[in-house]
Amino acid sequence: MNDTPTYLPESGDWSCAACGEKLAPASVAVTYLQGGFTITLMTCQKCGLSLVPEHLAVGKMFEVEQLLEDK
């Protein structure tokens, strides 16, 4: 496990439709303008497809996007 911020879906039992695999937390790189972070998202262990939950996109991500754009 790692100690990066973790953002999981608020509900549901999610799997990757293409691979049929259950999702597991994995480190994912997030970049925007001059900013770069590592966060933990539920990810298909087989194909690497990552799930960005709604609360992350409209919450923290939106906030950080605005901060970076205003720099």
Contact residues for another protein, defined by CB under 8 A: 9, 11-18, 23, 26, 28-32, 41, 43, 48-52, 54, 57-58, 61-62, 64-67, 69-71
Residue 3 or 32: which CB sits closer to another protein? 32
CA distance linking residue 57 with residue 53, whole number of Å: 6
Q: How far is the CB of 32 from another protein (least distance, A)?
A: 4
User: Which residue lies nearer to another protein by CB, 2 or 57?
Assistant: 57
Count of C-beta atoms within a 10 Å radius of residue 41:
21
In Å, what is the CA distance from 65 to each residue of 10, 24, 31? 22, 26, 10
